[in-house]
Amino acid sequence: MKKKFAVFDIDGTLIRWQLYHAIVNRLAANGDLSAEAYEKIRQARLAWKNREHDSSFRDYEIILVQQWLTESKKLSYDQYMTIVDEVVDEYIDQAYIYTRDLIKELKKQGYFLLTISGSPKEAIARVAKRYGFDDFIGAEFLVDENNRFSGEVITPFSDKASYLNNLVAKHGLDFAGSVGVGDTSSDIALLELVEHPIAFNPEKKLFEVARERGWPIVVERKNVVYELEPHGKAYQLKKPPKG
């Protein structure tokens, strides 16, 4: 008999900040990125913080990845892993109440838990272990024969649906009753596959898609969780907020 499953994004969905961003920012703070690369990242992040346009966060992410892939060639894998461990130690317990509790509840119900993330697989492996995920996918930054980064990456970021299909086939899982939780447009294709998609703290594009397709939306602010259910093109509070 096939198992039911749930699949989660990590950054901004379970963990309150972006692990990948935190890793690159820590490298910059340690002087492991050039001043030029750091300034490009800083300016892009400032544009996002100032909400200069709708795509400012995505632009920030693109610049972050581009600069990291170029600068990473200067680093050894061991240097990188020291930073990864420091960042994960800091952020691993900074989880959203809603998704943290949902993971626990689904685990009790016998769901097979998956996570697919664009953050480094080394970081995602530790998060997956802490929260009881059964399997995970993260970005793999390739190293050469000298254990130094090549500037290449294998990432599920833009094709999470294919990675989910592979995991479902690998573990003999069933889409019937499946649950998916994501927060950005990169999660849309994944959420389209599951029977019960949840848009959690959605950014604009995901919000628009969720509203068009009648997906539930959950918003968590401070220590309050608002579960919103669709009624036509509008939403109403499903139940009194927790917290």
Domains and CATH numbers, the chain: 3-237 (3.40.50.1000)
Using the predicted structure, report yes or no on whether residue 73 has a pLDDT greater than 90.
no
- How sure is the predictor about 240, in pLDDT bands with cuts at 50, 70 and 90? low
CB neighbours of residue 71 within 10 Å: 21
Q: 100-120 as b/e, with b when 16 or more CB fall inside 10 Å?
A: eebbeebbeeebbbbbbbbbb
Name which of 100-109, 137-146, 153-162, 232-241 the model is least confident about: 232-241
DSSP state of 40: H
Q: What's the rounded mean pLDDT across residues 66-75?
A: 87
pLDDT at 195: 98
The separation between the first and the last C-alpha atoms of the chain, rounded to the nearest angstrom, is: 38
pLDDT digits (tens, 9 = 90+) for 163-175: 999 999 999 999 9
pLDDT at 239: 63
212 phi and psi angles, rounded to 5 deg: -65, -35
Using the predicted structure, report yes or no on whether residue 243 has a pLDDT greater than 60.
no
pLDDT at 167: 98
For the packed helices 19-29 and 56-71, what is the interaxial angle rounded to 10 degrees?
A: 50
Give the torsion sign (CA, 182, 215, 208, 189).
positive
pLDDT at 33: 87
Using the predicted structure, report yes or no on whether residue 219 has a pLDDT greater than 70.
yes
Name which of 41-55, 96-110, 195-209 the model is least confident about: 41-55
CA distance 141 to 149: 7
pLDDT at 210: 96
pLDDT digits (tens, 9 = 90+) for 2-47: 899 999 999 999 999 999 999 998 888 888 888 899 899 989 989 9
Q: What's the rounded mean pLDDT across residues 87-91?
A: 97
CA distance 60 to 48: 7
Using the predicted structure, report yes or no on whether residue 147 has a pLDDT greater than 80.
yes
Mean per-residue pLDDT of the chain:
92
Identify the bridge partners of residue 221 per DSSP, sorted by sequence position: 224
Q: What's the rounded mean pLDDT across residues 108-117?
A: 97
Residue 224, Cβ density class (10 Å: 0-12 exposed, 13-18 middle, ≥19 buried): exposed
- How sure is the predictor about 234, in pLDDT bands with cuts at 50, 70 and 90? confident
Contact residues for 199 (Cβ-Cβ < 8 A; gap 6+): 182, 183, 191, 206, 207, 209, 210, 215, 216, 217, 218
